[in-house]
Structure 1
Amino acid sequence: MLSAKLRQDLIDEKDMEIIFQQHIIEGDSYFFNSLINAPEKEYELRKELSRELKINIRDTVLVGSAKIGFSIKTRQFLEFDEKFRASKMRKDRSDIDIAIVSQALFDDLSEKLYKFTRHYDKAWIAENWQVNNYYSTYSPEKPKLHDSFFYYYAKGWYRPDMLPANFDPPWKETLGRWRASLNRKISIGLYRDWKYLKNYQTDHLETIQNKIKKLEI
């Protein structure tokens, strides 16, 4: 559900970068503060990630519905676990989304992926990059998996869920431990620069703002 403070800031047309900073980057997180009442665990998770990846903890940020309580990227702006409450199916539980911002890590993984795919060899891609652990079926009606990966890559965003199978990112071990501890899937989005994370988030915030103006929400 859209918070009263965020709604008012959007109605007042507050500077979008300030809204992004106040509501997306700073402040309490819905999952750790309100849902499980364990705010220290968020920082423990972020600290372990930053240590494993050799980055600063400030470059790991909780985002999405786990942060603000609802998804800003869907037309329905679903609340955290709303689909799960309706279906009771485990696959519909909301993820804990974490954005990592690191040019060095982004470039390092890009170089490793380049080598892993034999310099993006077309034959290799056709044989090995059609499905993975997240997308186990291929449909000719949908964009190819590698095309979808590079769509986000061009926007400065590295989507691990769209990587070829058997290309494991360096945070796998940490996320595995925390997934077991929290009994919740944890998803990573790696951004090359803060501007890409900001632009992705503010694009969705502007969509919400327009819906408010049109009295659609």
Structure 2
Amino acid sequence: MIEDFKADLKVLNSLQIYRKYVLGGVCHLLDNHDLFELREVICEQFQIEFNDVLMVGSGKLGFSIKPSRRFGLFNDDSDIDIAIVSTSLFERVWQEAYLYKKSGADWPSAGRFFKYLADGWIRPDKLPPSNYFDFAAEWWTFFNELTSSNRFGPYKIRGGLYHSHFFLQEYQTICIDQCIQEAF
């Protein structure tokens, strides 16, 4: 698949590559049944639409497109990355985070949290400490239990929360554009 991807970098634009490989195509790590099961568990947990749970990253592609690991193959140290796209869930967390910040509580990563928020996504590792912030506790408990179940292999399962498909697409196409530039 990596050779097909690299060949397509020369003939397709970043949006087309995003559609073909991130939204479409086969999943490198999980077969259709396991991918369905993973997405089903996540959409049930967060009460979101099935189509708003997507596997991304090296687990999906078989290799990374992130600058720090560009074209590095999925391996035993890789994570299963999930993109959750839900405006209502995103806004709920945003409001809770705003109120937490407004309360003056200690939150060392607040600046980084709001930087990612401006880019349309929430990185759970930047949320307020989970012992004080209910959503963070819920998120980490769920994903840690999913990981420790080994139901989808011995890999960490991690998620990012996106405001809309627009922001997921933008985040992914930034890396794809960089891949295109490097291909020439």
Matched, 1:29 2:27: yes
After TM superposition, the structure 1 stretch with the greater mean CA deviation from structure 2, 164-173 or 45-54, is 164-173
TM-score (normalised: structure 2): 0.87
Distance in 2 separating the partners of 1:208 and 1:161: 26
- Unaligned stretches of 5+ residues in structure 1: 34-38, 85-92, 131-144
Matched, 1:15 2:13: yes
SS of the residue corresponding to residue 149 of structure 2 reads helix
Matched, 1:101 2:85: yes
1:173: how far off? Answer: 4.2
Matched, 1:129 2:125: no
Q: How large is the RMSD of aligned CA atoms in angstroms?
A: 1.8
SS of the residue corresponding to residue 33 of structure 2 reads helix
Matched, 1:147 2:111: yes
Which has the larger Rg?
Answer: 1
Give the conservation status (yes or no) of the 8 Å contact 2:22–2:60. yes
Aligned-residue sequence identity (percent) comes to 31
Distance in 2 separating the partners of 1:26 and 1:120: 43
Distance in 1 separating the partners of 2:113 and 2:99: 16
After TM superposition, the structure 1 stretch with the greater mean CA deviation from structure 2, 178-187 or 60-69, is 178-187
Map of 1:1-217 to 2, 5 A cutoff? 3-12=2-11, 14-33=12-31, 39-77=32-70, 78-81=72-75, 93-117=77-101, 119=102, 121=104, 124=105, 128-130=106-108, 145-166=109-130, 167=133, 168-169=135-136, 170-182=138-150, 183-213=154-184
Q: In structure 1, what residue type is equivalent to 2:6?
A: R
1:115: how far off? Answer: 2.4
1:15: how far off? Answer: 3.3
Distance in 1 separating the partners of 2:87 and 2:103: 21
- Unaligned stretches of 5+ residues in structure 2: none
Give the number of aligned pairs: 176
Give the conservation status (yes or no) of the 8 Å contact 1:49–1:171. no
1:120: how far off? Answer: 5.8
Give the conservation status (yes or no) of the 8 Å contact 1:69–1:80. yes
- Using CA pairs below 8 Å that are at least 6 residues apart, which structure has the higher relative contact order? 2
Give the conservation status (yes or no) of the 8 Å contact 2:85–2:162. yes
After TM superposition, the structure 1 stretch with the greater mean CA deviation from structure 2, 176-185 or 186-195, is 176-185
Q: In structure 2, what residue type is equivalent to 1:195?
A: F
Structure 1 stretches of 4+ moved >4 Å: none
TM-score (normalised: structure 1): 0.75
